[in-house]
Every structure is written in structure tokens, then in C-alpha cells.
Structure 1
Amino acid sequence: MSASKRFQGANTLSRYHQNFLERQHCKWHSSEDKVANNMFSICILMPNYMLFRLPSEILHKILSYLDAATLICIGHVSKSFYQRANDEALWRNIYRRLLNKKSINMVRKMHEIYTLESQAQPVDGWKLHYIRTRDAWARKKWRTHLGVISRHTGLPSHTDQILRNITWELTATDRSNRETTYDLSFLRFFDTSVVLCWYGNWPDYHHISTIQLHGVRRIALTCPGLKAPGWRSFMEMIDMETVTKGMQDYGQDQVIELKLLKPHIVMGLWKGQHHIAFVIITLHFHKLLERSTQGSSVWPYVDPVVQPPFDDIDPDYGLHGYHLHIVLHSSEYQIMSECFPQLFCHRDQICNGLVRLTAIDGTFFWQHKPLSGDITLPWKCEALQGQIKDRCFMTLTLLDEFNKPFWCFSSSVSTKCKEMPFSVLYATEQFLIHYQDSDGEVMMTIVQGEKEKQLYLVNLAVYVSTGKLNKYFGKDY
């Protein structure tokens, strides 16, 4: 064969390889699990491809022009590329470029440049050092946003913006200790909480031994079809063997029946089956960023010990100056969000170990609050959607007289219908919402208008346990 024909054949083969690579690249975004397999197939189909026959020096020079995200993607091609893409010299140069782009303290910058010039390699390697530095700068930006506190909620005003940099994962472990991780399907942010939902190919819940919730923070790298490097923070574990014994029915429609695993965790099962359709979790913003980022992969974040507030010799210290922010919401829309300042309780009103804080008195019509929607819990999975009536979520934030979070929770609640005396303003039907835990209780009364069918909140009282009060304020009520 002549040299011209061999050259023409090589060009044809190169064009074929180029088209093949382009077709494979289009598939990267559709399935992250097939990236390594696709690229490995390319290596098998092209054993004599020119790239594998290049000298190591030239290949190293080519890789030196790539950014961090591209190097991470290339590391999934094969073992050979994984070794080359994790070369310390490559990541040292990437770290140098990072320092040139970022504006950091001059002393720190000089120290880093000195380290680079002295060829001193970090203990964890340049790649991990680069990832940790990117993560540290991101968390430094978060701290600046956390400094602005909302006077309505007592929480950082930009919490939802910061939490958009976080994701959450559920890891289900079956009885043979095989783990399956489920990525978040969708989420919804509200004033003081976030609703998370996972749906997909879940197994029979009887085959699951535990479900773990992890918060995951990833560095800002665009890796097509791959997950960027990050860290997992263990938040909560559900022991299915224990939970299913006391699992409560939480409502149903024609397709789904809901089970309440915990007050803030709802599981949807296909009706008449034991297969899981979806899992919905609602989380309060208070300490959520710390819980989602500062725990280890196996241990949760632990709150620091808080000293009791300063005692100003007021005999009713701890019984006045409360600020209540309460939200009713579904998994998709907000039903109500209201603030009630300057709540108090007299000593003689403490009854049965509970301190009553009245936010809305039903006898005063001007205090009644309209609701902006029906009390329903919409659900959806891959192909179906529906809604469960008389179910929603309640998110409560109670602040002390120093505007600090005192009692915070986000939980699923349900309404119960109860007859009431005839009223000129409202229909004869009322709905009761009752929440209770070890820290206290919440009682709400909702009625429906006679003409426009509008729902109104006509009664709201919060009961705080004296045990929580005494522990927080160092008192003995």
C-alpha cells in the first residue's frame, strides 16, 4: 500500500473516531453511570489510536492545558488516564492558577507561593488540597451572607440562597447490607423550611433495614455527566424495622397511601402494595446549614452547649417577649405565613407543666387570618401526580425576648373536622390542627367562610413545656 493511501486511510479513521467521540459526548448528559463505560468502549475500539501511542511527555503537556473539571472527567476513562489525570505536577499548576484568580490575604498568598516555589507537597496531595481550598473559599462567602438576621424569623435572611449550594441524598440499606443512594428529585424552599422529595425505583420497604439522610456539598466544577467532588454530612438515620412497627397512616387517595415515619418524614406507598413511590422530608432552616455540611460521613453535627441568657432579676423572666413565626405549606405552595410579636404568659396561667402563649384569640374577629389556599398535600413521581386532602406541613419558629431561636420545628400535620356553634361570619364547620412533641404543643382552629368558601385561622395557641423553659433560661417554673 502506498504512503498516500495509508495517509488517506488514517484521515478517514480519525474522522470516524472524532464523530464517534462526539456521539458519545452527547450521551454523557443523559446518564452519568455510562460515562466510564462509554469511554472504556472507546479505548477498546481504538487500540491503535494515536493518543495512546504518544510519548508520556507530550501527553503530559496536552493534559497541562486542561482545567480541573476536565481532568476529573478524564480520570474516569481508564486506569491509565486516572493515573495521568492525578499527576501531582498537573494539580500543582492548577492550584497555582487558582491562586492567581482568587483575591486572598497577601500573607496567605505569599505563604502559598512560597510553598509552591519550594516544591513542598501538601500531605493530602495537590488535588485534594485544591478541592479543600475551593471549598474553604465557598464557606467563607457563606459566612458573610449569614451575618444578616431577619427580624421576622430570627434566622439568617439568605439561608435559602446558601442552601441552594447544598444537596441531600438518601441511602437505603437492604437486609443484605447492600446500599443504594437516591439523588434528590426536587425541592421547594419556603420562608423558614425546605421540602425535599425523592422518587424513583424504590424497592419494597420491608426489604429495607435503614435509610440514611446525608447533606452533600460539592465544589463548583462543571463535570458533564459526573458528580463534582464533595463531602457528605450524616444527618439522620431511620431504622425501618423499628419505625414500621409504629408507622402511622397519614392519608390516601386512589393511587397512594401515606405513612408517617417521623413527624417530618412522609413515605408514599403504591396503594395495595409495599413498594415505595416517594419519600418527602421537611427540614427547618435553624442549624440546617451546619447539619448539612459540618457533620462527618458517619457522625452528625452536634450543637454547641448554649449558656442560659443573662438573668435581669425579672420574676417573669422567660415568660414574656416571645416572637412567633408560623408557616403552613404543602410540598409545592405556601398556605399561610404570619408573625405574632410580644407574646407572654402570666405565672398563674401555667397549667399542667405548660406555658400558654396566645397568638390569636377566637373572640376577636380582627385577629383572624385568611389562608391563601386549600389544605392539601400534592405529590408526584415520575409519571403520576395527585394530592391528599386535609394534610400539610407546619413550620414554627419561636424566638425569645432576645430574638434568638427558642423552639423550632417543621412537621407534617393533619386537620380534623369538628362541629361548632352557628356563626354569622363563618360556616358551621371547623377544622382543628394539633401538634405535640416533648417541647410543647400547638393548637389551631380553621373555619370556612359561609359565602366565598375562604379558610380563616381563628384560633392559635402555643404551649411550651416548663421543662424546656427551665433548661433554656435556668429557672424553676
Structure 2
Amino acid sequence: MATGRGAAAGAAGPRNRSRSFAARPGERSDAVNAGIKSLCLTPSTSPKAGLCVESLPSEMLLKIFSYLDAASLLSVGCVNKHFCHLASDNGIWLKIYSSCFQPKRTIWKMKSEQAETVSLGCAALPDRKPGYWKKEYISKQITAVKARVMRLVKPVDPYTGLPRKTKEAVKASGLSWIIVLEDKSGMKHVMEKAKLSFKEASVTVLWYSADWPCLGILTTLKLFGVTPLLPAHSRAPSRSGPRRRSLVAEYHLADLTAGSAAVGADKLVQLFSLDPGLLVGLWKEENEIAFVMASLHYHQLLERSTLGSATARYALPPRQPVGDDVDPEYGLHGYSLHLDVHGGSCTSLCGTFRSLFCRKGDIADGYLKLTVVSLKDNTKHLPLTGTLGLAWETDVLKGNVKDCCLMDVTLLDETGKPFWCFSASVHVKLSSKASGLYDYTGPIYTTDYADSEGKVCAELVWLEETKEYFLVGLVLYISTTKVNNWYGTDY
């Protein structure tokens, strides 16, 4: 039971606090700062109910909330229903809305050609439902960000057929990527610390940490695109603010260490591939996660990373066949390929190949064959610069897995539209067949990739004198099912 002195102090408390809010506009008094700081605490954990934030009068909480920015208000509104109601106050949000968008209305006078503009004030409050200006502010912010991003992705690179300013668009939208690991008990581990590396056709995301959960208890790995609900215009998005998640891909870790999935190793780590485009590095001695790497192709990257939900991936809208002017000699013609081979940090090969075609006689086993680089035509043979390998790093260690790399394939149709695009890890392995090349004396190496839409088969020769690979053969096999769905044909 409170003593007389304590009761007197408690009775005087509200009056003292109310006087402490009389600060000059734009400034925060000590009491307000203390009140805002106390919001970070969990109200229900306070041992004395009379001292918790929830016990403050609504007028006092509204005063505290009035000093918060939009992102902080949205976070406070997630505490409980009472806070959500107060943090949606039209008066607070109208002030934020007006300071950001400066809404005006024009009053025309009968005897004057001049217009008098007055800002929206208290007159706009009574006729609006609770939370109206909050919704208006969020809607207008999202619209502004979308418009800014669309302006950036509109220019198209003539070589790749992809948006030229994807890196700038990612920054403008505040987009980042996280992975969520779920264990057998249902507990989720969120990994956010990542390093980005932008290439001409893809972005490589590397997650590294000293606190990976034990591999033996993990069941699934989910890759999400994350965007702030209210992207900041002048600073990096806060990880603690309200954000939206878009599921990009989901992987099951039960088959992670299967022998067929291993793509390379060095002295410290062994790499395992999870399609599409994910690499998991495991410490050799401990068989635990060292890092996770994702290679994300630019084609529809923003849509896949922002328009999905936390439980479902973004579904492409139904596509109508474009129709094909069937040529009596060719099955496909006028195609272009942009190929990038890189190791995460450095690029080994970057080239564009045009005027690709497939004769109808080359259609076999459900695939249309596009020969990009021929063994017989040495004028198209290309060197791979630098050391072919995949660079990785953690908090304290770095390494490079030799003969393993990332391949970005961007195949454009005859109209220049992206037709088949992917980014994946590939492993270069020694071929068993004897070399039949007269221009090269080194051994032949091969690398392959396959998915539901097609296959890529490449041949390289190693030149011991110059210590480099030469690309001497490259063939793409496109699924006839994909071609028929694209054109409405019947190959």
C-alpha cells in the first residue's frame, strides 16, 4: 500500500509531466525523450503496473507519439490494440503527410484572378475516419517509390536486353535479401548480414556469420526479398523498422550433402548447390555452414523480390503466345545470347553472340539446338581471363574454390525480349574424350547446366603455356515445350 508521500508524488506526477511537454516547436523535452525511450521496453514485463507505459493517459501518449517519425509510429502501433489506435491518430499523420507532400487546396475569389492557397489543417480531421491519413501517407509513399523505380528500370541495355540501372533501382527501393533457416522444432533463424556484388546480368549475395545454427537440426532454407514499408529517401533502410517480405525461393536441406550436389572444394570448405542459384559452403572438418551464396539474375528480379508474399512466391501473369513467322528453313532464328562467367568478385568472360538459329533438322529429343561457339570455327573461340574460381569469405577467413564459377545466361528472342534467363553455379571437370583439336594441345574440360527449360553444354581447353582456359564449344538446347508455349507452335 502506498504511503502518503508516495501517493502525493504520484498525484503530482501527471501535472509535472504535462508541464514538461511545453517545449519549443521542433524540440523534444527531457520527459518526451524519456517517454520515447521507454516505448522500447516491453510494457507487460514491468513489475509495477503503475509504472508501465500503458498506464499513461492517452493524451500523454499522443503527445509522445507526435514526436515520432512515420516508421517509428508504425512500429509502436504493433505493440497492442491501444497503441495501434493511438498511433493511427489523424492529427499526427496529417502533420507528417503535410510536411512530406505539402497538400494544398485552391480557393478562387469571385473578383480576383489570383488564387489563394491554404494548407490542409484541422478542418480536414473531423470528416475522416480514424487512420485515414496514415493510409494516405503510406499509399502515396509506396506510389512515389514505385514511380522512381520504374524510371530507373525503363532504360534497357542493348546487349543484355535487361534493365540498365538495376543496381540503382535496388538501392532506390531499399531492397535487400535475407535467408531464414527453420529447424526441426519450428524455430526460425534469420540471417541478414550480407555482401552484394553486382554484375552485368546478376547480383551475388553472400551471407556470412559466426552464429550459424547447427546444420543437423535444419530442415528448410527460405530466401526472401525484403523492402521497408516506408523507404527512406536520405538514409539506408533500418532493419528494425516495418518491412515487407517476398518469398523468392525455398530449399529443403535434407539432401544438401548428397554426392551429386557437390560442385567443388578447397582446403577449408566444400560447396553444395541447391537449384536455382544457391550455394552452401560447409566447413570440411565440422560439416557446419560457413556461408551461403545466392546468384540472382536481373530478369524480373524486382518483381520476384517485392511482389510476392511471406508465404508464396510471385506468380507471373498469364502470357499469350506471341505468334511465330514460321520459316521453311529454320526452326528458330535471330536469337541473341549474352554470357557472363564470373567468380563472385572478378569476371572471367563477358560476351554477346548474335544471329543464332536452329534448323528444323536439328530438332531432336524434345530440344532445339542453338550452336553458339563451334569447335570448327576458331574465330569465335574466346579466352577466360584470370583464374577460374569462386571467391568466398567469412568474418575471419577468405578462400577460392578452383574450377567452380557462376554462369549468367541471357537468351533473347528475335524481338530482343528475354526468352531464357538464369544464373547458376557450374563446375569445370576434365573430359574423358581425347582432344581432336589441331590448334590446341591441352586437355579438354566440360561444364554443363540443365533445368526444365533447357540445357547448356560448354567445352574448354586448358593452355599450359599461358595458364588460361579457352572456350572452344558452346551449345544451348531449348525445350520444345518452352518454345511451343512461347509462340503457340507445334515443334
TM-score range for the pair, normalised by the shorter chain length: 0.7 to 0.9
Amino acid at match of 1:206: G
Cα 1:475–1:202 shift into 2, 3 Å: same
Matches within 5 A, 1:109-188: 117-121=124-128, 126-164=133-171, 165-188=174-197
Residue range with higher mean Cα deviation, 182-191 or 359-368 = 359-368
Matches within 5 A, 1:31-70: 36=40, 64=66, 67-68=69-70
Q: Given that residues 168 and 184 in structure 1 are in contact (C-alpha distance below 8 angstroms), is that contact kept between their aligned partners in structure 2?
A: no
Instruction: After superposition, give the CA deviation of every residue in 1:206-238 in whole Å (9 maximum; x if it has no partner).
Output: 211221111111133358975332211112211
Amino acid at match of 1:99: F
Distance 2:256 2:122 in 1: 53
Q: Given that residues 321 and 344 in structure 1 are in contact (C-alpha distance below 8 angstroms), is that contact kept between their aligned partners in structure 2?
A: yes
Task: State the match for 1:321 in structure 2.
Answer: 334
| 1:432 corresponds to 2:446 | yes
Aligned-CA RMSD value:
3.9
Cα 1:288–1:122 shift into 2, 3 Å: farther
| 1:211 corresponds to 2:255 | no
Cα 1:268–1:120 shift into 2, 3 Å: farther
Distance 2:212 2:141 in 1: 35
- Give the drift of 1:344: 0.5
**TM-score, normalised relative to structure 1:** 0.79
SS of the residue 1:241 aligns to: coil
Task: State the match for 1:196 in structure 2.
Answer: 205
Amino acid at match of 1:220: P
Cα 1:471–1:70 shift into 2, 3 Å: closer
Cα 1:351–1:141 shift into 2, 3 Å: same
Match of 2:245 among 207, 220, 232: 232
Amino acid at match of 2:231: A
Equivalent residue pairs, number: 437
Cα 1:466–1:82 shift into 2, 3 Å: closer
**TM-score, normalised relative to structure 2:** 0.77
Distance 1:283 1:428 in 2: 34
Task: State the match for 2:463 in structure 1.
Answer: 449
Amino acid at match of 1:134: Q
Q: Given that residues 333 and 355 in structure 2 are in contact (C-alpha distance below 8 angstroms), is that contact kept between their aligned partners in structure 1?
A: yes
Distance 2:123 2:456 in 1: 59
Structure 2 gaps of 5+ residues are 1-28, 105-116
Amino acid at match of 1:363: K
| 1:370 corresponds to 2:395 | no
Distance 2:130 2:384 in 1: 58
Residue range with higher mean Cα deviation, 361-370 or 241-250 = 241-250
- Where is the helix percentage greater, Structure 1 or Structure 2? 1
Structure 1 gaps of 5+ residues are 1-16, 29-33, 103-109
Distance 1:226 1:343 in 2: 46
Cα 1:159–1:305 shift into 2, 3 Å: same
Cα 1:431–1:242 shift into 2, 3 Å: closer
Task: State the match for 2:8 in structure 1.
Answer: none
Q: Given that residues 194 and 284 in structure 1 are in contact (C-alpha distance below 8 angstroms), is that contact kept between their aligned partners in structure 2?
A: yes
Amino acid at match of 1:190: K
Distance 1:54 1:299 in 2: 41
Task: State the match for 1:309 in structure 2.
Answer: 322
Residue range with higher mean Cα deviation, 323-332 or 155-164 = 155-164
- Give the drift of 1:144: 2.0
| 1:274 corresponds to 2:269 | no
Q: Given that residues 88 and 130 in structure 2 are in contact (C-alpha distance below 8 angstroms), is that contact kept between their aligned partners in structure 1?
A: no
